Structure 1
Amino acid sequence: MAPRLSGFTRASSLGPITDFMDRQGGSAARVLRGVDLPFAVLEQPEIVIPLRAQFRFLESAAREIGDPHFGARLGQVVRMANLSAFGAWVCAAETLTQAMERGHAGLNTMLQTSTVLTLLRNGPKVRWFIEFVEPETDGRHHNELLGVAYQIDVVRTYAGRQWRPDVVLTALPRGSPRAELEEIFGTNISHGHPVPGIEFDAALLGRGLFRSADVPVRRSQAEPLVPGNGDTIGTIAAVADLALCEGYPRVDWVAAKLGTTRRSLQRHLREHGTSFNRIVEDALCKRAKDLLTQGTVPVTEIAFQLGYSDPAHFSRAFRRWTGVAPTAYRAA
């Protein structure tokens, strides 16, 4: 059986990681080079990246600065309301219950796939879990603790910035040291759970927005949907589009980022009646249209950005895709 293709997340889920790493004496750009991800991950928060690639990026970042709790510490500076249009939408709900409902409903289409949110109520307490259905193991615990931090920030939008959960539940082995994590989160830590999450007072579920200047507000904006777990073509196309940030996409690079092989990837595409070249052509056409629509980047520079050594080759390709020259498309 072929391996399941990786889930996806937006680059925005890493929060202000560049500034955070600079303060810790590390370099996010150097880590990106080490895990073979384009620098655009830091500059374009709306783009999507394979979830397994984010796991590995966090693991490498932790090694870069020598912090075994890197994901938890990064989580202390993220804000849910700044987490793409999805985060702004969630934190605009009137009550915490409505915010959580929005999170459960929109997560897999607006922000991140292979991720499941679950709320369980037990008397006066509730547990809110976040599960990453992704086989990657390197960096998993960093991503889990980062996800928990986003959950905590959602509740703070309604309970106030000083709020802390009663317990942070982790999937780290039972018996793992707790003291440092308890200092980071400012609350009790319980290890050994199948799925990470937080426990808090159920009375907070009906709490309305906490009106404070400290709650960041981000204007909602349209963003492309994240490809679903079952969308094979959309998944491959998204990674090909990511590869375009650093030149013409290579099939081996795309396959590696999806956790599969070149042969399996090409078989997937044949089964869906297409090819890698067709996927790349579609991605090139979309990226070219986006750049031309901006109206500020010269056509020659667009050609070079898309991996063409000669602007004339780009112009011929664009005319083949659209029936018009790049300059005519921009003028229209």
Structure 2
Amino acid sequence: MASPSLPSQSIRQVRHALQALEALKRPGLDTGRLCQEFGLSQAVLEDPEQRIPYATLDALLERAVELSGEPHLGLLMAGLPVVDPDDVGSAVIATSPTLFESLERGVRYQRVWGDGERLALEPTERGVRMRYTPVGAWRPAHRYLAELVMAQLVIGVRLLTERNVVPLGIRFVHPEPEDTREHRERYGCPLSFRAPSNDIEFSHEDAALPLVHADALVHAIFERQAQRALSALPPEQGLASRVRQYLQRSLGGGDCSIAAAARALRMPPRTLQRKLAEEGQRYAGLLEGLRRERAADFLQRRVSIAEVSFLLGYSDPSVFHRAFKRWWGVSPETFRQRHAADPHTR
């Protein structure tokens, strides 16, 4: 159903939303009629390979709010348990060793659920922050989606750690609703509105919490399945994807500067920065994200630390050591020792 030129998401995401809407049982909200209105047949909804444009779900949620009169739709949808046993991305997250690594896997395999870099993980002085950027120009549905994603993260973290984890804070781009009692009860942490981005922050201590379903062997199996699912998808067309492809070729000997990337992509550096910002990305963030992912992979494959530093384009190994500790909370040596103790993580 999705046009190759439009960013799309897995039909599973739409199916989850519809199941949550049904469970709300709001008067006037008939999901069957809603699907008909947006051309979503039962055959399409049941085909796990289908992907549809983000704009379709955006419009559907806005119509659902119009029909139900429920302004906190996204927040309420998050409280409804919707489990898809075929969702390999969620299985990878649930079997990760720690909360931080589960968040990192969510970012790494997010394209299983939909195109674009909607999720980004970045270190902060107090811990780590997960940022959520809806696809496309802002519209009312993005409020519902942002509140849904943040609530799902809070609920998911508590389920996976079996701890009453309280985020350090949550920020939203949209204005503060008139009534935020439901928000404050659901999130249980300081809230900010009209912020630069939608994000949630966890402390260093919480990021290091082990997950109750962590299993190295099962995790490795699910991760291979997630990698195969990614490789089966058509190449992404966005600028961030093209920048990542350039960086993948240039790490370890090439020029990773934004000036070099801009030359390779035939545009001025300022234009590159502006277009990446329109996709919710930063050049430095893309470079650091790739280095972080590659560093973990190399160390688990027992590549020497000095060689990992070179392969990631660091001229000074001490700079790599500092960066690695910021990403993972431990030194490269400690990271290697932990993973060497378990043959299933290699």
Match of residue 11 from structure 1 = 11
SS, match of residue 132 in structure 1: coil
**How far apart are the structure 2 equivalents of 1:18 and 1:80?**
10
Give TM-score, length-normalised by structure 1: 0.57
Match of residue 76 from structure 2 = 73
Contact kept in structure 2, 1:55 and 1:136, CA below 8 Å:
no
Q: Deviations over 1:33-77 (max 9, x none)?
A: 222333345434553211111111111122222211111211222
Match of residue 22 from structure 2 = 21
Size of the aligned set, in residue pairs, is 223
**How far apart are the structure 1 equivalents of 2:149 and 2:235?**
19
Distance 1:64 1:115, change over 3 A: farther
Distance 1:41 1:19, change over 3 A: farther
Distance 1:157 1:184, change over 3 A: closer
**How far apart are the structure 2 equivalents of 1:36 and 1:149?**
29
Amino acid across the alignment from 2:201? E
Amino acid across the alignment from 2:95? A
Alignment of 1:28-177 (within 5 A): 28-40=31-43, 42-78=45-81, 84-108=87-111, 110-135=112-137, 137-160=139-162, 162-173=164-175, 177=179
Amino acid across the alignment from 2:8? F
Alignment of 1:147-296 (within 5 A): 147-160=149-162, 162-173=164-175, 177-210=179-212, 223=229, 225-230=232-237
Which structure is higher in RCO with an 8 Å CA cutoff and minimum separation 6?
1
Q: CA deviation at 1:164?
A: 3.9
Q: CA deviation at 1:88?
A: 1.1
Q: Is 62-71 or 148-157 further displaced after alignment?
A: 148-157
Q: CA deviation at 1:83?
A: 7.4
**How far apart are the structure 2 equivalents of 1:146 and 1:83?**
21
Which consecutive residues of structure 1, in runs of 5 or more, have no partner in the other structure? 232-332
**How far apart are the structure 2 equivalents of 1:68 and 1:175?**
9
Distance 1:129 1:82, change over 3 A: farther
CA RMSD of aligned residues (A): 3.3
Amino acid across the alignment from 1:75? A
Contact kept in structure 1, 2:129 and 2:200, CA below 8 Å:
yes
Give TM-score, length-normalised by structure 2: 0.55
Q: CA deviation at 1:188?
A: 3.5
Amino acid across the alignment from 1:182? R
**How far apart are the structure 2 equivalents of 1:115 and 1:17?**
24
**How far apart are the structure 1 equivalents of 2:86 and 2:156?**
11
Amino acid across the alignment from 2:119? L
Q: Is 170-179 or 83-92 further displaced after alignment?
A: 170-179
Contact kept in structure 1, 2:107 and 2:121, CA below 8 Å:
no
Amino acid across the alignment from 1:148? M
Match of residue 262 from structure 1 = none
Amino acid across the alignment from 2:169? V
Contact kept in structure 2, 1:9 and 1:226, CA below 8 Å:
no
Q: Deviations over 1:148-177 (max 9, x none)?
A: 233334423443264342322211125754
Distance 1:150 1:175, change over 3 A: closer
